[in-house]
Amino acid sequence: MFDSSVIELSKAALNRNLRFLRKEIGEGVRISSVIKGNAYGHGIKPFVPLAEQCGIRHFSVFEASEAYQLMKYRTNPETEIMIMGFVDSDGLEWAIENGVSFYVFSISRLESALTMARRTGNPARVHLELETGMNRIGLREEELEQARKLILENYDCIKIEGICTHFAGAESVANYKRIQDQILDFNRMDRKISESGLKIPIRHTAASAAALSYPETRMDMVRIGIAQYGFWPSKEIEMQYLLHNKNAGNHKQAPDPLRRVLRWSSRVMHVAQVEAGEFVGYGTSYMTLRPQKVATVPVGYSHGFRRSLSNLGRVLIRGKRANVIGLVNMSMMSVDVTSIPSVEPGDEVVIIGKQKNSRITVGSFSDMANLINYEMLVRLPSDIPRVIVD
C-alpha cells in the first residue's frame, strides 16, 4: 500500500525450474536450495516457505545470520540447514545447539567445533570441505590424517554429514582443465577418507554451473543457487544446453526451460509535457530535441536502480519500452513516454520482468549497469516488499 515498488515471486516459475532441474540431475540426487545474499535478492523470508511448498527440504546459506533467519521462516521443522561459510564462536555454538550443519575447512575450525560440541552436549554436524584447487578455503590433503584422528578420537562429538568442494569457474569452458583436475583431486581425497575408516553419507561438489555442465559432479546432492531462480549461471552454459537439446527434426534451438521467478514493478507517479530545448532533471545530461512527454517513476538508486543507468536504462509501460532520460535520482527517475499513447499516473512500470509481449531481463538490466546478474539481484534492497503470486 505504501511502497513505491514491489517484487513479485512466481510459484509457478519456481515449480517449473525445480522440475527441470530434477529431470536434468536425476531424481536420486538431492537439491540443496542456496539462499545466500538474501536468496539472491528474492528475500529469505518469502522464498523459504515458497521453496518448501515446491518440495525443497534442504537449504544452504553462507553465514550463521542467514541460517538464523532461515530457521525463523521455515515452515517444516525437518527442513535442513547447512552453513557453507562464516560462523564465529557464538554462531558455532548456536548452530550445534540447533542441529544446523556447517562446513569445516581447517583443523582449527574442527577443534572449535569439538569444543562447542562438548560445551553444548550436542554433536556437531559437519561437512568436510576439501581444497581441490580453488585455493580459497578447504582442508588440504596433508591435513586429512590429522582431521581423521580428531574425528575418530571424538566420535561422540562429531557427526560427519558429508564431504564437499567448490569448483573454480565451472560456468566457463576456459576453466575446463582446472575443473577436471579438481574432480580428480576430490575423488582421490574421497577415497583416502573412505579408506581411513570414516563413513561419508553425502558427497556434494556441484553448484548450478557444474550440475548443468559436468554430470559426473552431481553425486549425492547439488547446491543449486542461480538456476532455481530462473537464471543461467552464464551465457555459455545457456547456449550449450539450448544447442545440445535443439529439435533434431527442424534443427531449431530448444526453448529456454527456465522461468524467472522475480518480477519488479512500480507505477507512473506523474506525467508532464516538456517543450523542445529543455533539460530534464538535475544538470544538463539530457536535453529534449522535440516536444516530449516525460513520466516520473518513484524508483531511484536507493531502490537498486543504479545511477549508471542514467540515459541508458529502459522500463516497460503499457507493453512498450521507455528510455530512462536524465540522471537517475535517489528516489526517482524520468522516462520518455512520447511514443506511448495515453500514459497516465498509476500505470504499471515494469523494471525487471514481463509486461504483455515485452520483457526486460535481469541480464539486459545488469549488462547496462556493468554488473553480472548475480550482483544485480543481490543489490535489490531487502525493504522492497516481496509478494508471492501463482
Does 45 participate in catalysis according to the annotation?
Answer: no
In sequence order, what are the residues at sequence separation of 6 or more whose Cβ sits closer than 8 angstroms to the Cβ of residue 1? none
| Active-site annotation holder among 23, 36, 293, 301 | 36
Active-site pick, 176, 235, 282, 356: 282
- Cα separation, 324 vs 360, in Å, equals 13
- Identity (one letter) of the amino acid at 151? I
Per-residue cell: 377: 539481484
196: phi then psi, degrees, rounded to nearest 5: -80, -5
**Angle separating helix axes 176-195 and 144-153, nearest 10 degrees:** 40
Q: Are strands 292-297 and 333-336 parallel, antiparallel or unpaired?
A: antiparallel
Residue spans of beta strands (DSSP E) within the chain: 5-10, 30-34, 58-61, 80-83, 101-104, 124-129, 158-164, 202-204, 221-224, 262-267, 270-274, 292-297, 314-317, 320-325, 333-336, 348-355, 358-360, 386-389
- Strand 5-10 relative to strand 30-34, pairing: unpaired
Q: Is 282 part of the annotated catalytic residue set? A: yes
How far is 336 from 312, CA to CA, in rounded Å?
A: 12
CA 145 → CA 74, 87, 139, distances in Å?
38, 24, 10
Return d(Cα 13, Cα 270) in angstroms, integer.
33
Side chain identity at residue 286, one-letter code: Y
Active site residues: 36, 282
